[in-house]
Amino acid sequence: MIRQVLLFGFVLLLASCKKEDDLSGIDLGYDYFPNKVGSYIIYDVDSTYYGVNTESYSFQIKEELIEEFVDNEGEPNVKINRFYRPANNTPWILIDVWTQKRTTTTAEKVVDNIRYVKMEFPVKNGGTWNGNAYNNYPAQQYKYSNLAGFADVGILQFDNTVTVEQQNNVNLVDEEIFYEVYAKGVGMVFRQATDLNTQGSQTSGYEVVYRAISYSIE
């Protein structure tokens, strides 16, 4: 009887070890949201604003992770310096300081003092979460799609990306399309933000597109 109990316990131990090994091999998708100080991404940005007059602008934005700090919850965060320049070979101008953090279950970014849950882990096709869970805006369901898909964003191409669908509302009056594409080991490489209203004879609203053109991941 004692021998049987010991044998049963040994089998449970092996099963437990095997389970832990299996879990340690699971890719939760953290690499879609790199969080290393010294990394940066440069984007070409095209924006169009509709109203009485239509105005279009093209410029570049650089987001650089510059410094790690600990927040009030005792969790590590990273400061992001955001720079603007009107064209290549012109000086960068600092315009914003944002922050981000990556926990075991979320990737969060504070944009103009508003916290958004950009990603939720594990990353999986069809996975959904509330992107506004930590701010005062109404709940907004984000959704993963096209996991491990190829993305051509213009100058650069990426073999392993995931799309985060943030909003997709298209009807006879409104066109609200917001989504971001994240490349594994790089971060956000594409963003579309479209908010148009076609009620009446005049279109109003905006379209903004970010395309990654250069990056460095420390």
Structure token digits, residue 138:
């109404």
Domain assignment present for residue 64? The answer is yes
Return the pLDDT at 5.
35
Residues of the chain falling short of pLDDT 50: 1-23
Return the pLDDT at 99.
98
Domain assignment present for residue 3? The answer is no
Q: Which domain holds residue 117?
A: 28-216
Domain assignment present for residue 153? The answer is yes
Please tell me the pTM assigned to this model: 0.87
Inter-residue contact 94 to 82 (CB < 8 Å): yes
Domain assignment present for residue 201? The answer is yes
Domain assignment present for residue 16? The answer is no
Return the pLDDT at 30.
98
Domains in the chain, number: 1
